[in-house]
Structure 1
Amino acid sequence: MSLKEIVKNESVEDVLTFLGPTSDYRKLDRLFTYNKIEVITSGELSARYDDLLKRGVLQDQNGKVVKGPNWKAPKFVTEKKYGIE
């Protein structure tokens, strides 16, 4: 699995849903900075991240982001694309 491929080919929301519970925001910011800078410069990354938190897809537990009650695996995960198990 290549995170670079996932970032380039999947929606920002799906990438954040998949990686949000395992990566802190700084790592996600860096990942998009190197692979899809327009998501950072447009403010989309921050807006999508905040939206996922508001909708309960991601949840903040004492500073650690975890899967929220409304979390659902993105389609590319359920289809086992990129060799994801």
Structure 2
Amino acid sequence: MRTIEQIIKNEPLEEIVTVFALLKAPPHLDMMIRRHNRELIQHGELERTYKKLFEAGVLTSGEKGLCVKGPNWEPPQFALEKKYIELH
């Protein structure tokens, strides 16, 4: 299983958005999540999560539809633990 797929299947939506909103615009993030875990966002959860993270100062608006780290951004636990980095 690919790393992105593992993250989307195993991590909370808020943590997924905290990281991937810096790299992908909302439509692309929506497609990526739907591809690997459709149930995670089938009732508008993605939009609510964006709103929550903006209100909390975790994310702010950037250029070209991407977000940038807000003043309260912190890496999610899975990133701190380097949980999905494979050792060779």
Encode CA deviations 1:9-53: one digit per residue, 9 max, x unaligned.
Answer: 000000111111111111110011111112222111111111101
Give distance in 2, aligned partners of 1:26 and 1:12.
15
Give distance in 1, aligned partners of 2:76 and 2:29.
17
* Structure 1 gaps, min length 5: none
1:59 aligned counterpart, secondary structure: strand
Aligned identity (percent) is 37
Give distance in 1, aligned partners of 2:79 and 2:66.
22
Point out the structure with max Rg over C-alpha: 2
Higher helix content, 1 or 2: 1
Give distance in 2, aligned partners of 1:40 and 1:14.
14
| TM-score (normalised: structure 1) | 0.88
Structure 2 residue 17 is matched with structure 1 residue 4? no
Give distance in 2, aligned partners of 1:39 and 1:74.
18
Give distance in 1, aligned partners of 2:23 and 2:55.
18
Give distance in 1, aligned partners of 2:6 and 2:38.
14
Tell me how far 1:60 sits from its aligned partner: 0.5
Give distance in 2, aligned partners of 1:60 and 1:21.
10
Give distance in 2, aligned partners of 1:64 and 1:42.
22
Tell me how far 1:61 sits from its aligned partner: 3.1
